[in-house]
Structure 1
Amino acid sequence: MQQNNNNPFPISLHNTHVKLLAFDFLTLTPPSSPDYPFTRKSIPITRAETLGTIVLRDHKPSKFLRFAIDDGTGCIPCILWLNHMTSPHLARRRSPQDVCLLADAAARSAAMVKVGVVARVRGKVTGFKGGVQITVSDVFVERDPNVEILHWVECVNLAKNCYNLVNAPSSSSGSGSATRK
């Protein structure tokens, strides 16, 4: 398999729902141009997953549901679009049956978003008014009381052992020989 040498991001987590805590998510670097994604330590991040308590809810029927997820390290802004039936963008790109399915799924997700509920949210990392947010693709209400701690442990473990190593230089390419004192 030949690698594209024109790609400024040789290794990425493209289209992977990267599990991030709010303090890490909110520090993603904005794209340098509209053609590039947000980045974390030079690694492109296009999708994210978070889990926490819903602390804010702003619903505009048939338009959008804006809400925030608090995981204890900060609040992640989220937007769930509800304008599938009136969007000319979707009408051009999708069949009417697909648009109806997307609208139904969004309405079901919106019904689950209630202040005080612990939820897992996944979606696309997007920008809005100079900040970063999740454009929601799905919401899952969590009922297990241990799920928040497990999410924290997974986020820390993935950051330490996976996300921080993706673009790290190979240790075999250096000439560093160990010296003893």
Structure 2
Amino acid sequence: MDHHQHRRRLYNTHVKLLAFDLLSLLQTPSHSSSDPISFSRKGALLSRAETVGTVTSRELKPSKFLKFTIDDGTGCVGCVLWLNHLASPYFARRSPSDVRLIAEAANRFAAEIRLGVVARVRGRITSYRGTVQITVSDVVVERDPNAETLHWLECMNLARKCYDASGL
């Protein structure tokens, strides 16, 4: 695998990261209008992430967005779940039935995000006012009390064996 392939092989993967790692990603302005900022970790380009932690804040603007914070003990990651699908020009090109399904899923996720729950969040890595955040694509509320500990172990294991291997 050449260096360029190496740099991009994690690009479309939901990379499991602890908050301190996610928040310290290198942000670089990019030439793409859809992704104005690129994110990298030790030279590897990343676009998606997964994190697990306790919901410690929640701000809802109905039909607009839900902002919430996930605390995994190493830091707090801001998350934004958009709820404006039905009014957004971004989705106007998509079929109305698809947009309705996406909107219903987002509203279901929003209802599950309550203070104190442990949630597994996946989505695109984005930046808001210079701080890394996750633009949420899906949420699972964890019932297993060991979910957070297991996530920690997976993150450390993956960092050592996969992300950091061969210079990543």
TM-score normalized with structure 2 length: 0.91
Q: How do 1:169-180 residues align onto structure 2 when only pairs under 5 Å count?
A: none
CA distance in structure 2 between the partners assigned to 1:166 and 1:116 by the alignment: 39
The code of the aligned residue for 1:27 comes to: S
The SS at the match of 1:37 is: strand
Q: 1:31 corresponds to which residue?
A: 28
In the TM superposition, what is the alpha-carbon distance from 1:37 to its structure 2 partner? Answer: 2.3
Backbone CA RMSD of aligned residues: 1.9
| Structure 1 residues 111 and 96, CA gap change in structure 2 (3 angstroms) | same
Unaligned runs of 5+ residues in structure 2 are: none
Are the aligned partners of 1:11 and 1:166 in contact in 2 as well (CA < 8 Å)?
no
CA distance in structure 1 between the partners assigned to 2:130 and 2:9 by the alignment: 23
Q: How do 1:109-120 residues align onto structure 2 when only pairs under 5 Å count?
A: 109-120=109-120
Q: 1:58 corresponds to which residue?
A: 59
The code of the aligned residue for 1:106 comes to: A
Q: 1:179 corresponds to which residue?
A: none
- Number of equivalenced pairs: 164
CA distance in structure 1 between the partners assigned to 2:78 and 2:166 by the alignment: 26
The code of the aligned residue for 2:81 comes to: L
Q: 1:13 corresponds to which residue?
A: 10
TM-score normalized with structure 1 length: 0.85
Does 1:102 pair with 2:102? yes
CA distance in structure 1 between the partners assigned to 2:104 and 2:122 by the alignment: 17
Return the structure number with greater strand share.
Answer: 2
The code of the aligned residue for 2:72 comes to: D
The code of the aligned residue for 1:19 comes to: K
CA distance in structure 2 between the partners assigned to 1:95 and 1:11 by the alignment: 31
The SS at the match of 1:67 is: strand
Q: 2:165 corresponds to which residue?
A: 165
CA distance in structure 2 between the partners assigned to 1:142 and 1:118 by the alignment: 6
Q: 1:156 corresponds to which residue?
A: 156
CA distance in structure 2 between the partners assigned to 1:15 and 1:101 by the alignment: 23
Deviations 1:63-84 (A, max 9, x none): 0000000000000000000000
The SS at the match of 1:31 is: strand
Return the structure number with greater helix share.
Answer: 2
Q: Which has the larger radius of gyration?
A: 1
The SS at the match of 1:158 is: helix
The code of the aligned residue for 1:29 comes to: L
The code of the aligned residue for 2:137 comes to: S
The SS at the match of 1:44 is: strand
